[in-house]
């Protein structure tokens, strides 16, 4: 009986057929390219692979890539929540416009973002020139990289938090209020638990995007080896030497670390969702 | 249920596979039809894969060559251009971009094509002047009036000077910059390699931003106002001065520099397949003609034909120029020693090596 119901509820015909399509398309678009990456680095012996992937300069670049991406995603987490909150809870003139602008970093070629941000934050740019006398270098430093990654990461947080915030039941807040909870208490105990899963998703997406970001960062980072050089740039530099195997070795390492990190974040998110329900 | 799932999976897989395969087949047929029509009719099409700053040069040259070829053979030729970073362009051709000719920034990028069997051995001696119809050199671009009084390479390692140059590991053009500085230091220290390395290392300590490409470095220097001197190709420097106004920048010619030789080659494997060898060969040869050389000079490349050189001698001052061959040997050796991983350039930046 229950099985009958389950079959009737399916929108797409036949689990087998749809699953077949899904697996095939996922293979063509994601899995096969990724395994080609693996295959490309097989030109190296294990020892050589390890040498390339753990070279001092490569390690420094992983550190820059991951730390800046994490910092940017963390800042985006708070910033994104605030923006989503304002968009959902308040009415103000130009709200639609404001809402549409959020998506622009998705659409804009990242190189354009890089050029625009560099123009702003360089020593002679509008904003950069204000911080220059204070001895704070914005562009051509890790601050610059983080700024660029914040820019391209912010829509991920806003767009994952916004719908959940919209769906949130006003009744629960009212109940909390009638039970004597203050505003902060309501926010902390009623709203935040609901928002943790989407916030984690947003964080993971912004973080993942930041690790792989190339276009906007190469313009604003200054690309100084050991200091502001990102891992994707080293991949480019290896390709420039026609060193496909070396480039894929670095890429593979990046892929593995990213996957592990994303897996951990996703598990954490699933755990928190289960706990919330 | 289980069987249902399995048949579905197989059905789905085979359905899409047939779709994909038939699409591939169709495109292959289309290509063949295209190819035969090209060799059958009188029209012919060439693809010139080049690097970034030659865009204007080849726009002008392609028109001139098409007119020349039509007059000579009565055949209409259209030339398509593709521009990008020199190394990236070379990789596109290696990965299957059907270029009839390549006109790149360094021999190393064509050597890579030779290694893949796309270009025959000995390409560099196929045309005159190491297969470089036009040349250039590396000069110093400073701000108007030369406020820091920069005269030669030595000034670039002075405490108060900031130098802008792109990363030689990601930019082919930047390798010439690095080699020019190295050649100067080597000459000054009577061929003491250790001293040359010290000098170049010191110079790169004065580089606050290491852009990934030459145009990026120009933007950093010109638009962002960073640095006191930009190490640049002469043609790019002349273009900057012309485009941005002579009231903003001056060109400083160092006492010694390197002769930058951007080489050209026919991609043998492609022209044999497409049957375009004759016209591709003529296309490169015509670069050496009076007309081709004049167009090169008008686009700020140093011509190699003496009659044209004489005409443009005001534009290209004389200075001592060493060639790559004289000082460094082949590109393969140079690349291996200086720019490969753990090569000299890497040692400059990895801690503990200084």
pLDDT 10s digits, A1-31: 445 555 556 677 788 888 999 999 999 998 8
- pLDDT of residue A196 exceeding 50: yes
Name chain A contacts of B346, Cβ cutoff 8 Å: 57, 225
Does B9 sit within 8 Å of A20, measured CB to CB?
A: yes
Are A124 and B225 inside 8 Å of each other by CB? yes
> What value does the mean pLDDT of chain A take?
88
Q: Tens of pLDDT along B121-151?
A: 999 999 999 999 999 999 999 999 999 999 9
Q: Which residue of A has its CA nearest to B111?
A: A242
Residue whose pair of structure tokens reads 């943790």 in the numeric block? A196
Q: What is the pLDDT of residue B8?
A: 61
Q: For residue A221, give every residue at least 6 positions away whose Cβ sits within 8 Å of its Cβ, in sequence order, or none.
A: A140, A141, A142, A144, A145, A148, A228, A229, A230, A233
B212:A218 CB<8 A: yes
Note whether A243 contacts B4, CB cutoff 8 Å. no
Q: Say yes or no for a CB contact (<8 Å) between A119 and B223.
A: yes
**Taking CB atoms and an 8 Å limit, are A19 and B12 in contact across chains?**
yes
Residues of A in Cβ contact (< 8 Å) with B340: 241
Question: What is the pLDDT, as a whole number, of residue B14?
Answer: 63
B15-62: per-residue pLDDT in tens? Answer: 656 555 555 444 444 344 344 434 445 789 999 999 988 999 999 999
Q: Which of B18, B212, B340, B344 to mutate to test the interface with A (most CBs of A within 10 A)?
A: B212
Residue of A nearest to B165 (CA): A222
List pLDDT tens digits, range B280-289: 999 999 999 9
A150 pLDDT more than 90:
yes
pLDDT at B28: 42
Question: B181-207, pLDDT tens digit by residue?
Answer: 999 999 999 999 999 999 999 999 999
Domains of chain B: 44-132+262-288 (3.40.190.10), 137-260+319-348 (3.40.190.10)
pLDDT at B13 (0 to 100): 59
pLDDT of residue B33: 39
A44 touching chain B per CB within 8 A: no
Q: What is the pLDDT of residues B1-20, one digit of tens each?
A: 455 666 665 656 566 565 55
Nearest CA in chain B to A13: B8
Q: Is A15 on the interface with B (CB under 8 A)?
A: yes
Domain boundaries, chain A: 66-229
Among B107, B209, B338, most A C-beta atoms within 10 A, so best to mutate, is B209
Asked if A55 reaches chain B (Cβ–Cβ under 8 Å), the answer is: yes
Judged by CB atoms closer than 8 Å, whether chains meet at A25 and B16 is answered as yes
Look at residue B27 in the predicted model and tell me its pLDDT.
45
Distances from the Cα of A121 to the Cαs of A54, A143, B305, in angstroms?
32, 10, 47
CA–CA dist A105, A206 (Å, integer) = 12
The answer to whether the beta carbons of residues B341 and A238 sit under 8 Å apart is yes
pLDDT of residue B207: 94
Q: How confident is the model at residue A82 (pLDDT cuts 50, 70, 90)?
A: very high
The pLDDT tens digits for B145-165 are 999 999 999 999 999 999 999
A45-69: pLDDT as tens digits: 888 888 888 888 899 999 999 999 9
Architecture of domain A66-229: Orthogonal Bundle (1.10)
Question: Quick one: average pLDDT of B323-329?
Answer: 94
| Range of weakest confidence among B26-40, B63-77, B246-260 | B26-40
Task: With beta carbons less than 8 A apart as the criterion, state whether B104 and B89 touch.
Answer: yes
3-state secondary structure B210-240: CCCCHHHHHHHHHCCCCCCEEEEEHHHHHHH
Please enumerate residues of B whose Cβ is less than 8 A from a Cβ of A: 4-13, 16-17, 20, 85, 87-88, 90-91, 94, 112, 167, 169-172, 208-212, 216, 219, 223-226, 335, 339-342, 346, 349-351
**pLDDT, position B81:** 95
Res B244: pLDDT = 81
What pLDDT sits at residue B247?
A: 87
- Spatial distance between the Cα atoms of B176 and B186, rounded to a whole number of angstroms: 15
pLDDT exceeds 90 at position A102: yes
**Contacts with B, A 193-252, CB within 8 Å:** 218-219, 222-226, 233, 236-243, 246
DSSP state of B83: -
pLDDT at A277: 57
- CB-nearest to A240 from B10, B94, B169 is B169
Report residue A77's pLDDT band, with 50, 70 and 90 as the boundaries: very high
Could you give the residue ranges of the DSSP H alpha helices within chain B? 2-40, 55-73, 86-94, 107-115, 128-131, 172-188, 193-205, 214-222, 234-244, 268-274, 277-285, 290-298, 306-311, 324-327, 331-334, 344-349
CB contact under 8 A, A223 and B211: yes
CB contact under 8 A, B335 and A222: no
Which residue would you say has higher pLDDT here, B290 or A173? B290
CB contact under 8 A, B341 and A25: no
ipTM: 0.78
């Amino acid at each position: 009986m229950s099985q009958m119901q389950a079959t009737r509820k399916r929108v797409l015909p036949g689990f087998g057929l749809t699953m077949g399509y899904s697996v095939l398309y996922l293979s063509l678009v994601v899995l096969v390219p990724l395994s080609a990456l693996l295959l490309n680095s097989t030109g190296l012996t294990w020892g050589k692979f390890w040498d390339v992937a753990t070279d001092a300069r490569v390690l420094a670049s992983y550190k820059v890539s991951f730390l800046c991406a994490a910092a940017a995603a963390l800042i985006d987490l708070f910033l994104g929540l605030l923006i989503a909150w304002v968009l959902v809870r308040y009415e103000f003139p130009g709200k639609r416009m404001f809402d549409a602008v959020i998506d622009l970093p998705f659409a804009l070629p990242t190189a354009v973002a890089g050029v625009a941000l560099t123009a702003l934050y360089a020593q002679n740019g509008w904003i950069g020139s204000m911080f220059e006398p204070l001895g704070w270098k914005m562009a051509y430093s890790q601050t610059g990289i983080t700024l660029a990654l914040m820019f391209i990461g912010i829509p991920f947080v806003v767009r994952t938090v916004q719908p959940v915030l919209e769906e949130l039941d006003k009744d629960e807040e009212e109940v909390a209020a009638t039970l004597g909870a203050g505003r902060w208490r309501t926010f902390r105990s009623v709203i935040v638990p609901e928002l943790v899963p989407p916030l984690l998703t947003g964080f993971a997406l912004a973080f993942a995007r930041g690790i792989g970001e190339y276009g906007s960062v190469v313009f604003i980072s200054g690309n100084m080896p050991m200091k502001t050089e990102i891992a994707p740039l080293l991949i480019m530099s290896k390709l420039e030497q026609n060193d496909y195997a070396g480039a894929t070795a670095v890429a593979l390492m990046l892929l593995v670390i990213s996957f592990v990190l994303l897996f951990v974040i996703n598990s954490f998110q699933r755990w928190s969702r289960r706990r919330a329900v | 249920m289980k069987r249902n799932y399995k048949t579905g999976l197989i059905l789905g897989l085979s359905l899409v596979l047939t779709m994909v395969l038939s699409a591939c087949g169709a495109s292959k047929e289309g290509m063949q039809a295209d190819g035969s029509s090209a060799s059958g009719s009188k029209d012919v099409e060439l693809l010139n894969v080049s690097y970034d700053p030659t865009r204007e040069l080849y726009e002008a040259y392609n028109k001139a060559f098409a007119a020349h070829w039509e007059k000579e053979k009565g055949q209409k030729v259209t030339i398509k251009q593709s521009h990008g970073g020199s190394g990236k362009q070379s990789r596109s051709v290696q990965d299957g971009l059907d270029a009839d000719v390549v006109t790149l920034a360094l021999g190393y990028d064509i050597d890579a094509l030779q290694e893949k069997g796309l270009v025959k051995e000995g390409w560099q001696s196929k045309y005159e002047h190491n297969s470089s119809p036009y040349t250039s050199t590396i000069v110093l671009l400073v701000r108007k009036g030369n406020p820091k009084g920069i005269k030669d390479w030595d000034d670039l390692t002075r405490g108060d000077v900031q130098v802008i140059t792109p990363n030689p590991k990601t930019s082919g053009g930047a390798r010439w910059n690095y080699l020019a500085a190295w050649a100067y230091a080597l000459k000054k220290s009577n061929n003491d390699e250790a001293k040359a390395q010290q000098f170049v290392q010191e110079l790169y300590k004065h580089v606050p931003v290491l852009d990934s490409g030459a145009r990026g470095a120009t933007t950093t220097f010109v638009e962002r106002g960073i640095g006191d001197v930009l190490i640049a190709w002469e043609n790019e420097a002349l273009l900057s001065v012309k485009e941005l106004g002579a009231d903003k920048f001056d060109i400083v010619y160092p006492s010694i520099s390197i002769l930058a030789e951007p080489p050209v080659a026919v991609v043998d494997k492609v022209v044999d397949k497409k049957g375009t060898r004759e016209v591709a060969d003529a296309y490169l040869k015509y670069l050496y003609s009076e007309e081709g050389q004049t167009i090169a000079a008008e686009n700020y490349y140093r011509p190699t034909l003496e009659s044209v050189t004489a005409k443009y001698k005001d534009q290209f001052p004389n200075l001592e120029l060493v060639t790559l061959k004289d000082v460094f040997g082949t590109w393969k050796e140079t690349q291996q020693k200086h720019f490969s991983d753990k090569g000299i350039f890497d040692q400059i930046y990895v801690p503990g090596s200084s």
